[in-house]
Amino acid sequence: MSNHMIGKVLQGRYQVVQTLSAGVFGETYVAVDIENPENPKCVVKQLKVISSQPSYLQTLRLRFLTETETLRQLGHHKQIPQLISCFEEHERFYLVQEFIEGHALTAELPIDRNLGYLWSESQVINFLQDVLLILDFVHSQGVIHCDIKPENLIRRACDNKLVLIDFGSIQSIDFEIIDEILPLDSIPVSSLGYIPPEQFIGLTQPNSDIYALGMIAIQAMTGVTPLQLKVDPQTNEILWRSPSTPVSDYLATIISQMIRYNYEDRFHSARVALRALQQMPLETQYSYIVDVDFTVSSEDSEKNQPQTKLNTNPKDSTSPNSSPLLKGMKVGLVANSLVMGFGTYFIIHNTPSYSEKEALYKATEEYQAGDLDRAIALAKSIPSNSNVYPDAQASIEEWQKQWHNAAEQYKAAEKAFQENRWSDVLRAASQVPDILHWQTKTNKLVQQAQVNIEAQTKDLLTKAYEKASLKDFSGALDYLSQIPEESSAGAIVQQKLTEYNHKKSVRAAYFLQKAYNKAAEGDFKSAVEFLQQVPKDTPVYATAQEKLVEYTQKQHVVQAKSQKIASSKAPAFTNMKKPLSNSNYAKNLESFDPSNQMEEVNIR
């Protein structure tokens, strides 16, 4: 890895401090945001550029813009890093993402069956559920990660949650054949073993990510890395389970289906795999094994129910004979799962047809594109005896709820836009669910609102600077406080707020000092005028108010005395006493002692 980037500042604010990795798609660095007073860390990815030809750069530029928008949408999930910025500089393309404090899952996996702590079944289930929830979201955005491996799962220090990182290999979900074969020498060594067979020939599927996740689960339970596992030469299936592997038949069956050689035999989605795991608690109450025969008899053909029989001879769940890797037409399930009804879920041989899977994905595309009625119609066309049917029904319910929410939030953003409430536009837009149709509509409002916020910020900053140049720091602070939080000038605003607050306090002390000086000369009128200029929210304001009361009273005494002298009529002016001067009179006033006087402070 090259360290030539260390110390460089990108876009005038991101200073590279560490090299993280280098791969097929570019290099990754840790940087600090020097424009932010706290200098937070972030991750900067420089995309690899192999040519300077204008046509190539333009193509790459378009792909860059498309993929950054995808990353922006993915960053809405709490367990995916947020996209902070993206930019082009010197014909190089950069992504800036949230830095996740924590450690890679690699640190938690056993390095050998005999060296290291093997995960328990409950730990594996929790891990699978956590990551499948993330993948369900990722796939719902029309994206396949393509590089699920322990290095790309970070255990976040603040909440112990797993965070999925490094979407540099992402591609859109596409069921068409892609004429792009993945060359072996271009794959990072750390990815080998986790990549499924179809990905090498350009047939990547959403359940390609599920395959990789299953391989990590096997590594956690066995201490054996994917490249160390043996493969059945006849079926190409991975032979991972042994009598000493502490795993139930049910979980072993789930994991085996996650890693099937043929992607059509795997779970078709993360949501279906998740549903299978959620049925796990029902398994543990009985040790009897149920043989489920998936052959449909003529009597049950209309109900489409499997024939079942209960084998009352307990069977050791760790026996090789009960391994879920067997290719027969039967699978061992515990008797308690009968409560759920055998028509609910079969994880091996009730795989939905491709057309049903395609229908649901097509419905999802229509939903994302903005045709809710078409999406619902497609989902409803899936027959009730299909394994996809529960997923389709759940999707319809979720779509309708999210669609209504999106429409309401867009309406709120649109109203705020019409009323020139730019910050409210951004707040409403941030609440719009991840539906491409509504996100696209909202983004148009957001972009214009952001432009207006920047224009408003520029105007308010100019006015603040003008007030500050006249030493009216209260006025300057008032303009700064009107600048929206969403403005890109946030760092400058915070800096000026601190500066002007300090200068306001210094100037307040200056006015108080001048008041003391005038009072010492007996000029209470001028002293009162200076005190009236002391701004609120300054350290000396309370003292200034006390002195204002005191000096106002003394000013009245002086005025009354002057009026009394002026109105008195003496017959012979020579016999009158010489009037006291203001300074001599002031000395005779009761206990006036301008203590704690401060030196005058020059304000620039």
Q: Which residues are tagged catalytic?
A: 147
For 85, residues 6+ apart whose C-beta sits below 8 A from its C-beta are 11, 14, 94, 95, 96
Place of tokens 């993929």: 67
How does DSSP assign 358-418, residue by residue?
Answer: HHHHHHHHHHHHT-HHHHHHHHHTS-TTSTTHHHHHHHHHHHHHHHHHHHHHHHHHHHHHH
What six digits make up the tokens of 221?
Answer: 């339970």
C-beta atoms surrounding 241 within 10 Å: 22
Coil, strand or helix at 260: coil
Could you give the CA distance from residue 219 to residue 104 in angstroms, rounded to a whole number?
A: 15
Q: Where are the alpha helices (DSSP H) in 75-182?
A: 121-140
Coil, strand or helix at 64: helix
Q: Are 342 and 308 in contact (CB under 8 A)?
A: yes
Q: Is the dihedral of CA 196, 198, 202, 203 positive or negative?
A: negative
What is the longest distance spanned by two Cα atoms in the chain? 141
> What are the backbone angles phi and psi of residue 441, rounded to the nearest 5°?
-65, -45
Coil, strand or helix at 100: coil
C-alpha Rg value of the chain to the nearest Å = 37
Exposed/middle/buried for residue 163 (C-beta within 10 Å: 0-12, 13-18, 19+): buried
Q: What is the DSSP letter of 357?
A: H
Residue 535 Cα to chain centre, angstroms = 42
**Helices 541-567, 490-520: crossing angle, 10 deg rounding:** 30
Tallying the residues shown for the chain, one arrives at 604
Number of H helices, E strands in the chain: 15, 16
